[in-house]
């Protein structure tokens, strides 16, 4: 069994509950810019009643969480699994087949190209991160170390 916390293969996602109004997303990016935070991946989904959920992978999630909290945003910090896949036709389909075969269900997902035509990352948000990491690792999937998720690659 792999000790995922010591191997630092769990990354963190910053999620912000955001009202869908002009300028609100920019207020968040302004706070992150002033704090020196670099956004690596972003997804914004409409929720209900004019609100949405902004999910971010940033180079320093703890610092981003503190900065956004200090600026009165409703924000959470959640561990996610990030899996490497080929950046090629069918790469995502092959990865999703392996994730399903491993018995892992996710509630949220988004991707990022790392090297065009070579590799990409899929970030997945799961309910039981420790159990899911064990299943994904046992299935032979390549989990990306958090330093790579947050870094330039």
Give residue 78's pLDDT band: very low, low, confident or very high (50, 70, 90): very high
CA 61 remoteness from chain centre: 10
- Considering the domain architecture, whether residues 59 and 114 belong to the same structural domain is answered as no
- Give the range among 6-15, 27-36, 75-84, 118-127 with minimum mean pLDDT: 6-15
- Cα separation, 109 vs 115, in Å, equals 19
Same domain, 51 and 89: no
Tell me how far apart the alpha carbons of residues 128 and 115 are, in angstroms, rounded to a whole number.
30
Region of residue 56 (left: phi > 0; alpha: psi -120 to 50; beta: else): beta
Q: Of the candidates 52, 78, 104, which is a domain's last residue?
A: 78
Higher pLDDT, 63 or 9: 63
- Token readout for 34 is 């002033």
For residues 90 and 142, membership in a common domain is answered with: yes
For 33-76, what is each residue's pLDDT tens digit?
999 999 999 999 987 788 999 999 999 999 999 999 999 999 99
Cα–Cα separations (whole angstroms), residue 42 to 15, 38, 56, 109, 123: 10, 11, 5, 11, 11
Q: How does pLDDT run across 94-107, given as a tens digit for each residue? A: 999 999 999 999 99
The domain of 105 spans 80-150
For the segment 17-38, what is each residue's pLDDT rounded down to a tens digit? 999 899 999 999 999 999 999 9
Strand order in the sheet with 119-125: 39-46, 51-58, 11-19, 74-86, 119-125, 108-115
pLDDT in the model for residue 5: 46
pLDDT at 6: 46
- Evaluate whether residue 98 is within a structural domain: yes
Q: Which pLDDT score is estimated for 34?
A: 98
Whether residues 107 and 59 share a domain: the answer is no
Instruction: Point out which residues pair with 115 in neighbouring strands.
Output: 119
Query: What does the pLDDT average to over 107-129?
Result: 93
pLDDT of residue 8 exceeding 80, the answer is no
* pLDDT per position as a tens digit, 135-146: 999 999 999 998
For residue 37, give the CATH number of its domain: 3.30.2130.10
Tokens representing residue 114 in the block: 């790392």
With contact defined as beta carbons under 8 Å apart, do 2 and 131 qualify? no
Residue 6 forms part of a structural domain: no
Final residue of a structural domain among 36, 61, 78 = 78
How far apart CA 99 and CA 83 sit, in angstroms, is: 10
Counting DSSP H helices and E strands in the chain, the numbers are 6, 6
The structural domain count of the chain equals 2
The pLDDT score that the predictor gives to residue 38 is: 96
pLDDT at 4 over 70: no
What integer is the mean pLDDT of 119-129?
A: 94
| Residue 92 shares a structural domain with residue 141 | yes
Q: Where are the alpha helices (DSSP H) in the chain?
A: 4-7, 24-35, 61-70, 91-101, 129-138, 146-150
Do 133 and 102 reside in the same domain of the chain? yes
Final residue in a domain of this structure, among 78, 111, 130: 78
Task: Report yes or no on 146 lying in a domain.
Answer: yes
Sign of CA dihedral 127, 18, 110, 1: negative
């Amino acid at each position: 069994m792999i000790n995922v916390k010591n191997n630092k293969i769990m990354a963190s996602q910053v999620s912000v509950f955001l009202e869908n109004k002009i300028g609100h997303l920019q207020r968040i990016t302004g706070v992150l810019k002033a704090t020196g935070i670099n956004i690596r991946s972003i997804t914004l989904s409409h929720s209900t009643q004019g609100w949405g959920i902004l999910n971010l992978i940033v180079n320093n999630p703890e610092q981003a969480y503190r900065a956004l909290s200090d600026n009165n945003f409703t924000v959470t910090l959640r561990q996610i699994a990030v899996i490497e896949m080929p950046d090629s036709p069918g790469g995502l389909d092959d990865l999703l087949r392996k994730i399903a075969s491993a018995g892992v269900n996710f509630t949220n997902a988004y991707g990022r190209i790392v090297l065009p035509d070579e590799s990409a990352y899929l970030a997945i948000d799961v309910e039981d991160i420790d159990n899911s990491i064990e299943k994904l690792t046992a299935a032979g999937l390549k989990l990306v170390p958090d330093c790579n998720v947050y870094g330039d690659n």
